[in-house]
Homo-oligomer: A and B are copies of this chain.
Amino acid sequence: MNLWENIFKSKKSSAQEAKDRLTLILAHERAINVPYMEAMKQEILEVIKKYTKAQKIDIKTDSNQDFNTLEVEILLQK
């Protein structure tokens, strides 16, 4: 799980914030044809918003030659 330690540690601004955060990552190779990806992402985000009543959701998308990724960081309500 060093992967997660690295991801969380590289981003946290305080210990408290780190504890109240969920991270979701969705990834696929660019070569796949997934015409429904946008709609599916939106629906997954709706589910997360509904449950977490999130204060703040940060969404990052990234792509390179091989992969497309969606990274969602949710600051949870206290």
Contacts and interface: CB of A to CB of B under 8 A. Distances in A.
Contacts of A19: 29, 31-32
* A interface, over-half SS: mixed
Interface string A1-45: 101110110000000001111111111110110101001100110
Nearest to A64: B1
A47 B48 contact: no
Interface residues of A, number: 36
A27 B43 contact: no
A23 B39 CA distance: 16
A54 B35 CA distance: 14
Contacts of A23: 25-28
